[in-house]
Structure 1
Amino acid sequence: MLEARGLGYRKEGRWLLRGVDLSLAPGDFLAVLGPNGSGKTTLLRLLAGELSPSEGEVRLLGRPLGSYTPLELARQRAVLSQNRELAFSFTAYEVAFLGRHPHLEGRERSLDHEKTLEALRRAQALPLRERLYPTLSGGEGIRVEVARLLNQEPRLFLLDEPTNHLDPRY
Structure 2
Amino acid sequence: MIEVKNLSYAIHNKQLLQDVNLTIQKNSFTVIMGANGAGKTTLLQLMAGSLMPSSGTIAIDGSNIASLSPEMLAKKRAVLSQRYHLPFTLTVREVVMMGRYPFFRNQPHAVDVAMVNHAMQQMHVTHLADTLYQNLSGGEAQKVQMCRVLAQIADASESQKKILFLDEPVSQLDVKYQYQLMQIAQSLTRQHVTVVAVLHDMNLALQFADTLHFMKSGQLLYSLQQPVDIDAALIKNIFDVHAIKLEQQNLDHPFIYFQPE
Once the two structures are superposed, residues 124-145 of structure 1 have per-residue CA deviations (whole angstroms, 9 ceiling, x without a partner) of 2111111111111111011111
Shift of 1:105: 4.8
Q: Which position in structure 1 is the counterpart of 2:10? A: 10
Identify the residue that residue 84 of structure 2 maps to in structure 1: 84
Instruction: Give the strand-richer structure, 1 or 2.
Output: 2
Secondary structure of the equivalent of 2:38? coil
Q: CA deviation at 1:103?
A: 1.3
Q: How far 1:123 sits from its partner (Å)?
A: 1.6
Q: Which residue of 1 aligns with 2:167?
A: 160
The residue number in structure 2 matching 1:116 is 116
The size of the alignment, in residue pairs, is: 170
1:53-108 Cα shifts (integer Å, max 9, x gaps): 01101111110101111111011110001012111110010000011111115532
Matched letter for residue 83 of structure 1: R
Q: What aligned pairs does 1:6-155 form with structure 2 within 5 A after superposition? A: 6-105=6-105, 107-153=107-153, 155=162
Identical-residue share of aligned pairs (%) = 38
Q: C-alpha deviations, 1:108-155, integer Å up to 9, x for none? A: 212211111111101221111111111111110111111100100161
What letter is aligned with 1:159? L
Tell me the TM-score normalised to structure 1 length.
Answer: 0.96
Which segment is superposed worse, 72-81 or 105-114? Answer: 105-114
State the distance in 1 between where 2:123 and 2:71 align. 24
1-structure distance, mates of 2:47, 2:65:
8
Displacement of 1:14 in angstroms is 2.0
Q: Partner residue of 2:189?
A: none
Identify which range, 115-124 or 104-113, moves more after superposition: 104-113
SS at match of 1:36: coil
Tell me which structure has the larger Cα radius of gyration.
Answer: 2
SS of corresponding position for 2:31: coil
| Structure 1 gaps, min length 5 | none
